[in-house]
Amino acid sequence: MVTILDTVSRTFKEFRFIPRLTPKGLSKDTIDFSTFMTKDAPDRRGTKLKLPVMSAAMQSVTGPEMAIALAQQGGIGVIFSSQPIDAEARMVRDVKRAKAGFVSQLEILNPESTIDDAIHLIESTGYNTIPVVDGTREKYGLLVGVLEGPVPNDAPRDGIVKDLMRPFQKQPLEAILNRTKGHTKSSDLIKTANDYIYFGETGVSLEAANRMMIENRRKYLPIVNPDGTLKFLVFRKDSEANTAFPNAVVDSNKRYLVAAAINTHDYSERAVELVMEGVDVLVIDASDGFSEYQADCITHIKREFPQIPVIAGNIISGEAFDYLAKLDIDGVKVGMGGGSICITQDQKGTGRGQATAVLEVARHRDEYHKKNGIYIPLTSDGGIVYPVDMSFAFAFGANAVMMGKFFAGCRESPGDVIDHKGQKMKAYWGEGSLKAKEWSGKRYGQVDFDEGVEGMAPYTGRAADNLSLAFAKIAATMISVGARNIGELQENAVVELISDASRIEGGVHDVIEVSSTRR
């Protein structure tokens, strides 16, 4: 016989915070929004965000530009998996190469490479500055010069790169190394015949590299190992960008953090390519994560790539959390059918109000933590339209929020700004929609009906501006609650259900609103 739960499925919009004592000194500038999006354990360092937001793994939301913009602000973008494996891997590579710092994943040329090879490489990568190395050495090889594009139109296509590159020395680099042997520090700037190269085992700080480029009026700075083999390339524009984004989240090589989605169908092949490109977190993208298919996916990834954090989901019950927690997951996404363009609840009758889902899963998470000493972060995915929804998601137990529509209208989302009846808009469609399936094929294992729709989102400008405004509002909420961080918000918050009449009273009423600048 069917089991009927004695509960009511609630949404964030049905609650209001009750103010608590605001202590002196608590302000927007003293609030700490940082949080772990994956578990922090002795055997595995957690992935920490400075701004607890993730952009949804959707075709119309997260490409490389959005992922870069979020990483610069302290959040993280999740590249969508509803595309060919090589295309998703290329997006991850683009984010990693865009880091404001030391570029380690470099395309290289050989002095004997043809000009035609160089042109194809420039066109395929979009990069004009390409190191030229002696390919006889290990890894990147001995640095001998740099090709600074664009290649002149009159350059013979069958010519060689050696004739066009900017050489770094008229004498062999080994001679310079031998001459300075025993006289250089563990890291030192050496002037060769034609340019500057930074040598060192311990490396150079990004600030020092930028200073060297400014002093010597260079746009880039090669960094090589003591034996002369290429290690990194630092670009001045990237270094300056790093100063502009003090909250940027980066990996150990100073590259932007990026997550990528995998599915429960081709995960074994897809994960290999994503890991090779340096992905920081793998996020399983499934409409229902409470399945043996997901268990198989998690088990495989954990066995093949134990160093890569895995976020499972989506789930909406404590029973599902208990099932996944036993599989050594690093995080879990909570939510089903709450997205603005998701129709799973209408089509299948499965789902739950987002507030209820987060509350129940968080309760089981906390019980698991108390029993096993392992804390698994939660990401609230869906049902978030306004900053106040984010505040409730955090208060109810989420460590981060994943959003689609919030970012779909931003400048950095894929697609062009279009005019719709005099209003600027951007296309926005669900991953379970017909449009998404036409692009990528079967995603959830069903092809007979849709679980999402196609629509439009108002154009809202830069993601950074939208996040700044949103977290100013969240900070104001936390100040009223007396919370210095998300953990204190969860401990201190007191909320109550509101009636329909109370909701009307809390908004604009009994007047004609002539103009508004509210956002």
Q: Do domains 38-99+247-477 and 102-244 have the same CATH topology?
A: no
Residues in a beta bridge with 53: 401
How far is Cα 107 from Cα 131, in angstroms, rounded to an integer? 7
**Residue 372, SS3?**
helix
User: Do 231 and 223 meet the contact criterion of CB atoms below 8 Å apart?
Assistant: yes
Strand order in the sheet with 142-148: 129-134, 142-148, 166-167
pLDDT of residue 457: 84
Q: Any idea of the CA torsion for 456, 458, 459, 461, to the nearest 10 degrees? A: -130
Residue 30: which residues within 8 A CB-CB, separation 6 or more? 484
Bridge partners (DSSP) listed for residue 418: 425
Task: Show which residues are catalytic.
Answer: 342, 443
> For residues 483 and 282, what is the distance between their CA atoms, to the nearest angstrom?
31
38-99+247-477 is classed CATH 1.20.1050.10: no
β-pair partners for 85: none
Rounded Cα distance, 405 and 273, in Å: 28
pLDDT the model gives residue 118:
86
Which letter does DSSP use for residue 163 in this model?
G
Is the distance from CB of 102 to CB of 192 less than 8 angstroms? no
Report the candidate in 400, 357, 358, 352 with the shortest Cα–Cα distance to residue 379: 400
Cα distance between residue 260 and residue 272, in whole Å: 12
Give me the pLDDT at residue 189, please: 43
- State which H helix or E strand residue 436 sits in: helix 434-440
pLDDT in 10s for each residue of the chain, 519 residues: 777 777 788 999 999 999 999 999 999 999 999 999 999 987 778 999 999 999 999 998 999 999 999 999 999 999 999 999 999 999 999 898 776 555 655 678 888 889 888 888 887 666 778 888 886 544 567 778 888 878 888 888 888 988 888 876 544 444 444 544 444 333 344 444 334 455 444 455 666 667 767 776 777 777 776 666 777 777 776 666 666 788 999 998 778 999 999 999 999 999 999 999 999 999 999 989 999 999 999 999 999 999 999 999 899 999 999 999 999 999 999 998 655 555 555 566 677 899 999 999 999 999 999 999 999 999 999 888 899 999 999 999 999 999 999 999 998 999 888 888 888 888 887 655 455 455 555 444 545 555 555 678 889 899 999 999 999 999 999 999 999 999 999 999 999 998 887 777 776 666 776 665 556
Report how far residue 330's alpha carbon sits from residue 38's, in angstroms, rounded to the nearest whole number.
Answer: 5
Alpha helices for 290-353 (secondary structure H): 292-304, 318-325, 344-348
The full set of domain ranges for the chain reads: 38-99+247-477, 102-244
- Give me the architecture of the 102-244 domain, per CATH: Roll (3.10)
